[in-house]
Every structure is written in structure tokens, then in C-alpha cells.
Amino acid sequence: MKSYSLIQRHSTTMNRTKAFRILFILFIFTTILWGQNSAPKPNGKTAVTIKSDTVPAIKERYPVAPFQDTLFFIHNKIGSFSPEKRAKAIAERIQQIYSNPLFEADSLKIVPADITLDIVYKDAFIIMSITTQDAKFVGEDSQFLAKQNKAIIAKAILKEKENNAPVKWMKRIALELLFIGCIALLLFGINVIFRKFKYFLIRNEEKFFKGILIKNLHILSPANQLYFTLRIIGIIRTIVFIFIIYLSLPLLFSVFPSTVGYTTTLIHWIMKPAKFALVSFIDFLPNLFSIIVIVVLFRYALKIIKYFVDEIQKENININGFYSDWAKPTYNIVKVLLYAFMLVIVFPYLPGSNSPIFKGVTVFVGVLFSIGSSNAIANMVAGLVITYMRPFKTGDFIKIGEVSGEVTEKTALVVRLRTPKMEDITIPNATVLSSSSINFSANTRSNTNGLVIHSTVTIGYDVPWREVHKVLIEAANRTDLIEKEPKPFVLQTSLDDFYVSYEINAFTKEATKQPVIYSNLHQNIQDCFNEAGIEIMSPHYKALRDGNHTTIPDSYLSS
């Protein structure tokens, strides 16, 4: 806990340093923007069209904007000067006058020329010329338009000089620093709140964090749950910091007149997607309610079906020809089909369902699924067929091909067997369906006699068959896990040239313990035949020996 606290304090210090760095960069960035935009720049070409009441034709107009804001428009040409060139030249001349530190507004005068009225500075520098065509276009006389433009130019130059005065500049920097200090204080306070909340969770770890347990499965330990919670809190804190800094940018940009335009842009970046999201959500509400109603109806339909499935599985409801172990797989099939049908109904109500991108992604996913899951689908279909064929159940001792073992698991894709050697073997359902299977446990669960185990011995013709039968039955009765009723019996399966084949048959209810039963049975057969003085051997070997020795152990002969 101490080491974790040290790490938290170190990270808090680093976060605080990063926050101050960000604010300092914001201040430098804002100052640079103000410096770049405070100097007058010629405005680029901007062309719009208007329709005048006095001039019926639609003409292009070009703004005169020496200080970013448009002062007035130029509509007509003079001689070879197009309206665009005139607007650009006028803006450049106004900027030249603004650069004069001794500018006096009274030095602007209107001087009549041959066919124009000129606005000049100190009787020498012509700023612009106004023609009767210019006045006619705006519906005024030339003298009025000249006085109006002269007043606009003088006011714009004085305002720009006032905005860029050193005193104003210092006030704006001070205000900028004040805003940055307030933002830094706000970020510091939020960081303190998050840090204290983290320490509170760490101190009360045992109280609030018990881990996540789902059906006896530990998804998250208490320590991991605390770790992920702290990580999520850290992410939320970062998002809050970014949101506050972004919202503070319009405030910082509003201090300098040259950066005020960025304020509107930044707010527009937030408001436009927010408005779009809100309008889209409101438009989606009717479809959302339709989707909710459809989902609720299907959920209750599944609950009703689940009730009958549980009753069938408990055998409280009996349906002729429908087994209880079919209930759960049938319910799973019906559930998948209902969910698929629900998705088909809901799909048109989803936002963007008609967009080409949405359709393209859907088709692409479908193609990938169909190409990559052919074997899986084959195994799923085979598993479904096996379920309704009912060849075996979990816990049965079966044989599939050359593999024998107890069924430990049946899934939609595979069957798992555990052999007597404790080997777990996985067999795909498609292989199970295409192979023959033997179920040794099918008749051991009900009231039937059980599984018949059998073993064959060959005895010569010199031994009476009734005595052999008696010995084999005695060996079967001595064997554990063999049923006393029905009684064991012997079948003579063949009469060969030199010997008779005797098959002992006995019943057992323990199909999964066949290897042990067969081993005990064979031991008892040896003991019983040795006790009876009967040799278990082929007459071929008996004809080759000298007759002085037998296959019966000496311990039995001496007795």
C-alpha cells in the first residue's frame, strides 16, 4: 500500500506538471496568434454576388478588409482596374496609412477630380476614387458615398490603433494570465478531488472491492478490480481535463481582437456535432420505443417457452415421442431462431441501417463468417443430429471407431471421451456422425438385465463340456461387479478340428468398469480351471510336449 501511495503521489506530481505545461503552451500559442494577426494583412480574394434594386444585373462585389473586418465593397471597375484589383489596392493603401505613427483623422479629405471624388490623405496620397457608377450602384449620390467611406476608413484606422496600443496590449496579457491562472486553479482543484477519491477507494479496498464472481467463476480478483477502477478514474480525469481546456480556449481567444474569430470556430466545432447528435437522438426516439417493445415481447415469449421446457425436462409434462433430454437443445434452437427473427424485425429501426457503409459491412461480415466457419457449421449440424438421435449421454461408456471411453462432455462442436487410461480425447461431431458408435451403458440405467460381458476359452475334446460349463460359471460367480441374476451362462461358439470354443457370458451394471471386470474374470477363470485340473491350452501344443509336465501350477497339483 505504501509503494502504491508513492506511485500515486509521483503520478500526481507529474500530472500537475503536465497541466502547467499545457497552460503555458496555451498562453504562448494565444500570444503568437495575436501577434500574427495584429499586424495588418491584405485580405484574400472574396467574391460574392448581390442583386441591387437600382442595377438589375447581378454583379460580383469584393470586400475592402485591411484589418480582417470588411469596411465596404467595390462593385465596379475604373478604366482597366477590375473591382477585385481596386478592392485590393484600397486595402493596401489603408494599411500604409495605418502604419504611419502620426496618423491624424482630420488629414483625410475629399477632393473632386474630373469624373470622380477622391479620398486623399494630407492632400497627396489618394486612398480611393468614387465614381458616379459606384454611387448609382448603392442608390446614393457620389458626395454622400465619399463622406460615408471617408468616415468608415478613419474610424477603422483609429480603432485598430487603439486596439494595438501598448497599454491595451498589456491589459490583455494581464487578463490572459488571469484567465490561465483561474483555469490552472480549477484543474488543480479537480485533480485534488480525483486524488482524494482514489485514496479513499484504496483505504476502503476491503469494503468496496469484493471481486467479480459469476457462477463460481472469478472474473476479477479484488486487487484487479481496484486496479481497473483506478485506471478508469484516471481516464475520466484526463477526459475532464481535456474538456475543460477545450472549453477554456474560446475564453482565452476572446481576449485579443485578432483571435476572436477562433472563438466562434471552436464553439462551432462543439455545438455542431452536439446539435446533430441531439437532433438525431430525438428523431430516433420513435424507433427506439419500437425496438424496446419488440425486444420486451420476444423476451417474454422466451420466458414462456422456457417455463414449458423446464417442465418437460423435469418430466412434469409428457409429450408422446418427445424425450425430456430433447427439451434443452430444442429450446436453444428456438431461442436462436427467435433472436434471429427479432434482429430481422429490429434491423430497419436501427440508425444507419439504410446507409451503404452499414450494408457493406454486414455483407462483408456475412461472407467472412460463411467462408471461415464451414467446418464449424458442419460440426454444429452434426451435433444437432446426434442430439436427436440420442446414441449416448454424458456419463455413458461408449466406443467410437477405435476409441473407447466415458463421455465427459457433449458440446455443439465436439464430444469428449475419457479412456480407462485417463486420456481425454476430443472427437468432432462430424466424425462421430460419420462413424459407428457402441454404447455399453445404454441398458445399465433402466430395469434391464444390464450389459453382457463375455470371454472365450478353447478346451480339447477330451474334457467333458458339462465340466467346462460348470467351471466357467463358477469363475463368473466369483467375479465382483457381475450380477447374480440373471445367472451367467456358457455358449459353445464353435467345434474346431482340435478343440471346442466356450464363451462365458455374464451381466453387469457397471459398464464404465469393464477393464477391471474383465481382468478379474480372467483371473478367476485361470484359478477355477487350475483347481479343476483342466489345462487351458491348445491341443497343438499338447501334442508336441513329452507328457511329463502340464500347464497347471505345482501349487494346484500338490493340493
**Contact (Cβ atoms closer than 8 angstroms) between residue 226 and residue 234:** no
Chosen domain end from 143, 158, 173 = 158
If asked whether residues 470 and 549 sit together in one domain, one would say: yes
**62 shares a domain with 119:** yes
Does residue 384 lie within any of the structural domains? no
So what's the pLDDT on residue 58? 44
Helix (H, G, I), strand (E, B) or coil at 405: strand
**Integer-rounded Cα radius of gyration of the chain:** 49
Q: What is the CATH number of the domain that holds 554?
A: 3.30.70.100
SS3 call for 410: strand
- Identify the CATH number of the domain in which residue 421 sits: 2.30.30.60
pLDDT of residue 51: 41
DSSP codes joined into one string, 73-135: EE---BTTB-HHHHHHHHHHHHHHHHT-TT--GGGEEEEE-SSEEEEEETTTEEEEEEEHHHH
pLDDT at site 31: 52
Q: At 446, phi and psi to the nearest 5? A: -95, -160
pLDDT of residue 547: 54
Cα of first residue to Cα of last residue in the chain, in angstroms, is 80
Q: Examine the domain organization and report whether 195 and 178 are in the same domain.
A: yes
Query: Domain boundary residue among 158, 173, 200?
Result: 158
Quickly list DSSP for 436-463.
-EEESSTTTSSSS--EEEEEEEEEETTS
Task: Tell whether 61 and 31 lie within a shared domain.
Answer: no
What pLDDT, on a 0 to 100 scale, did the predictor assign at position 425?
93
Same domain flag for 31 and 170: yes
Which pLDDT tens digits describe the chain residue by residue (559 residues)?
443 444 444 444 445 555 555 555 555 555 554 444 444 444 444 444 444 444 444 457 888 888 777 888 888 888 888 888 888 888 888 888 878 777 777 788 888 887 888 888 887 788 888 888 888 888 888 888 888 888 888 888 888 777 776 777 787 788 888 888 888 899 899 999 999 998 888 888 888 888 777 766 667 788 888 888 889 999 999 989 888 888 787 777 777 666 766 777 777 777 788 788 888 888 888 888 999 999 999 999 999 999 988 888 888 888 887 777 788 888 888 888 899 899 889 888 887 767 777 667 777 677 766 665 677 778 888 888 888 888 888 888 999 988 999 999 988 889 999 998 899 999 999 889 888 889 888 878 766 788 999 999 999 888 999 999 999 999 999 999 999 888 999 999 999 888 899 999 999 988 888 889 999 999 999 999 999 988 887 555 555 555 555 666 666 654 4
- Here the cell at position 191 is 485533480
| Burial state string for 432-457 with b = 16 or more CB within 10 A and e = fewer than 16 | bbeeebebbbbbbeeeeebbebebeb
Confidence (pTM): 0.47
| C-alpha closest to that of 457 among 494, 508, 509 | 494
Look at the block and give the residue holding cell 485578432. Answer: 258
Query: Residues 469, 542: one domain?
Result: yes
Residue 381 maps to a domain: no
Q: Which pLDDT does position 297 carry in this prediction?
A: 93
Domains of the chain: total: 5
* Together in a domain, 477 and 553: yes
Q: Are residues 28 and 177 in the same domain?
A: yes
Q: Are 326 and 334 in contact (CB under 8 A)?
A: no
- Calculate the alpha carbon distances from 16 to 59, 192, 276, 300 in Å: 58, 10, 35, 53
Residue 226 resides in a domain: yes
Please report whether residue 475 resides in a domain. Answer: yes
Residue 457 confidence (pLDDT): 93
Distance of CA 246 to the CA centre of its chain: 28
Tell which residue, 530, 533, 472, has the closest CA to residue 501. Answer: 472
Strand order in the sheet with 108-112: 108-112, 116-121, 125-131
Long-range contacts from 137-146, C-beta under 8 angstroms, 24+ separation: 137/52, 137/54, 137/55, 137/59, 137/75, 137/76, 138/52, 138/54, 138/75, 139/52, 139/53, 139/54, 142/116, 142/117, 143/110, 143/117, 146/110, 146/117, 146/119
Residue 148: left if φ>0, alpha if ψ -120 to 50, beta else—which one?
alpha
C-alpha grid cell, residue 199:
485514496
Please give the Cα distance from 384 to 426 (Å, whole number): 17
Do residue 75 and residue 136 come from a single domain? yes
Q: Are residues 521 and 550 in the same domain?
A: yes
Q: Tell me how far CA of residue 362 lies from CA of 352, 355, 365, in angstroms.
A: 12, 11, 5
Q: Does some domain include residue 461?
A: yes
Q: How far apart are CA 222 and CA 190, in angstroms?
A: 27
Q: 352 is in which domain, residue-wise?
A: 294-372
Q: Which residue has the cell 454424458?
A: 394
Q: Is residue 307 part of a domain?
A: yes
Joined together, the cell numbers standing for residue 482 give: 457381475
3-state secondary structure of 155: helix
Mark whether 477 and 530 lie in a shared domain: yes
Strand partners, 425: 417
Domain assignment present for residue 549? The answer is yes
- Residue 362, domain member (yes or no): yes
Dihedral angle of Cα 506, 511, 517, 518, to the nearest 10 degrees: 80
Per the CB < 8 A criterion, the answer to whether 474 and 513 are in contact is no
pLDDT at 225: 83
Judge if 550 and 476 occupy the same domain.
yes
